[in-house]
Chains A and B, each alone.
Chain A
Amino acid sequence: METLYWLINTQTLGGLVVVIVFGVVVTLYFFMLRWIVAGANVADDGDT
């Protein structure tokens, strides 16, 4: 409980949480786009 209180009540840590969350979300979306782009290199069944 004390750790949780420290976590939510320490200045700068809040900002750090926001930055980490944003970073994770942007990275996820970047990899999703990359995965779609990479789909262009996979040959369709009819092409092989």
Chain B
Amino acid sequence: MSHLESTVFATLRKTGIRFYILFGVLAALVVWGVFAYIYQLIEGLGVTGLSRPVYWGIYLTNFVFFIGISHAGTLISAILRVTQANWRRSITRIAEAVTVFALCVGGLQILIDMGRPDRILNMIFYGRYQSVFLWDLTCIGIYFMSSITYLYLPMIPDFARMRDKLTDIARWRKWLYTLAALGWKGNHEQHRRLEIAIAIMAIAIIPIAVSVHTVVSWIFGMTVQPMWHSTIFGPYFVVGAIFSGIATLFIAMAIMRKVLRLEAWLTDKQFDYLGLLLLVMSAFWCYFTFAEYLTTVYSALTHEMHVADAKLYGEYAWAFWLMVFCNAVVPFAILTRRAGRTVMGTVIASVFINIGMWLERFTIVAPTLTRPSLAFEHAIYQPSWVEISITVGSLALFALLFVIFFKLFPSLAIWEVEEGIEIEERNRINKQLSLEDLRAMEKA
């Protein structure tokens, strides 16, 4: 058994006390969130801070946030696969898992926000395709199915490896790996077909992922509400999604690197390269934010200015300027220097970016609804304990799904990482050989 295999399999075999403590804490938070949700289900949405005209609050903020971080994964993984970046091999599994779990928790927010979750079926029974919500359902549904497939495909050879090599595990786990391996033999033709399928999925998933956050932005953009009716919302949301997605990926990578002892495969190189990408996304985000706010304030339409004033120096100024600090000041201060793009540096920047991106979504949702263009008095939105509890429970659920998944399945795509090591070795030998040839020619 190679060093890689034994390291990855070690966490699947042994379960320490730290795992149970983490599992217990996260499960307790999830149970608290479920309790708050049951209370809301019984009492109705009146127990939240939502009212007329503020019909969306932090549930929708969470929805956009989680759908955003789902871009971590698949989009980053797919882009790196398509561009054949060899350093991607050890991060793709984590990135793809982030996507699937973020989509699960993000989708859940809509059901929570509905008050009556059974009414989600009305979209199917009575839906008209002119509705943006149906575009959303289509895109997110396809993205979810594609992401699961894209996560599953590279896992098949690893399932077979676990089926064959993990002999000292519970019977149900053995059965699970055997079933998931789909009778994988690993012959040349099967490998060829798997590579083709992964390549097709990688190409297909990029436009799907872009469509998802574009359509999510249109939930807001297709209305005529002040500071929502914007033509740049599509790309603005996609950029924000990739930005927060990479940040989440950093946090996940750093935790797994430390806890699962993956330092040899999640190296400084990955943190450096992805740190640069994070910096570029921060620059894009600054550009879009500046463009969005400048055009609004410059044209100074009455309804728009009510919202802009609330964000820039009114009720929501704290959230707006904290967002700017987290998404622009911190990334530039840390990531512009090579010395800042370390594990610690990128994780600090990523935590700030995730806070900043959640606030960005909050400052999109709440200020506009408290100051709509309809003939309403300005409203106040204050999230209740129910909303806060469900939000904390949702974050814990995301982490819990992650913990359970990597307790059962390998944290790295073992066969892909091995393939990468082989390629690097071959390249090194070829380089050495060509240097020797050159020297021989010089001598001749």
Contact = CB atoms under 8 A, between A and B. Distances in A.
Contact of B190 (A8, A9, A10, A40): A40
Contact of A44 (B142, B149, B182, B187): B187
B130 interface: yes
B128 A44 contact: no
A10 B192 contact: no
A40 B128 CA distance: 45
Contacts of B156: 36
Interface size class of A (residues with CB under 8 A): 20 to 34
A40 B197 contact: no
B168 interface: no
A21 B128 CA distance: 15
A45 interface: yes
A22 B139 CA distance: 10
Contacts of A45: 188
Main secondary structure of the interface of B (DSSP, over half): helix
Given A18-B124, A44-B188, A44-B189, A32 B197 contact: yes
Contacts of B131: 14
A45 B189 CA distance: 9
B205 to A, nearest CB: 12
Contacts of B193: 35-36, 39
B192 A39 contact: yes
Given A36-B190, A39-B192, A42-B189, A15 B126 contact: yes
B416 to A, nearest CB: 16
Contacts of B146: 25, 29
A7 B197 contact: no
A7 B129 contact: yes
Interface in A25-42: 25-26, 29, 32-33, 35-37, 39-40, 42
Contacts of A39: 187, 189-194
A35 B189 CA distance: 11
A3 interface: no
B197 A35 contact: yes
Interface in B184-206: 184-185, 187-194, 197, 200
Contact of A22 (B127, B141, B197, B200): B141
Contacts of B124: 15, 18-19
Contacts of A32: 149, 197, 200
A25 B126 contact: no
B49 to A, nearest CB: 31
Contacts of A40: 183-185, 187, 189-190
Of the listed residues B129, B137, B185, the one surrounded by the most CB atoms of chain A closer than 10 A to its CB is B129
A11 B128 contact: yes
B305 interface: no
Contact of A21 (B138, B153, B192): B138
A20 B316 CA distance: 43
Contacts of B200: 32
Contact of A36 (B126, B129, B142, B182): B182
B123 interface: yes
B145 interface: yes
A14 B124 CA distance: 7
Contact of B149 (A8, A19, A29): A29
A29 to B, nearest CB: 5
B370 to A, nearest CB: 31
Contacts of A7: 129
A21 B208 CA distance: 13
Nearest to A10: B128
A17 B138 CA distance: 9
B125 interface: yes
Given A25-B142, A36-B193, A8 B128 contact: yes
Nearest to B185: A40
Contacts of A15: 123-127, 134
Contacts of B127: 11-12, 14-15, 18
Contacts of A21: 138, 141-142
Interface in B24-50: none
Closest 5 CB pairs of A and B: A14-B127, A15-B124, A39-B190, A14-B129, A42-B189
6 contacts: A18-B137, A33-B182, A36-B193, A39-B189, A40-B184, A42-B189
Given A13-B128, A21-B141, A36-B194, 14 more contacts: A8-B130, A11-B126, A14-B131, A15-B123, A15-B134, A17-B138, A19-B124, A21-B142, A22-B142, A22-B145, A29-B145, A32-B197, A44-B187, A44-B189
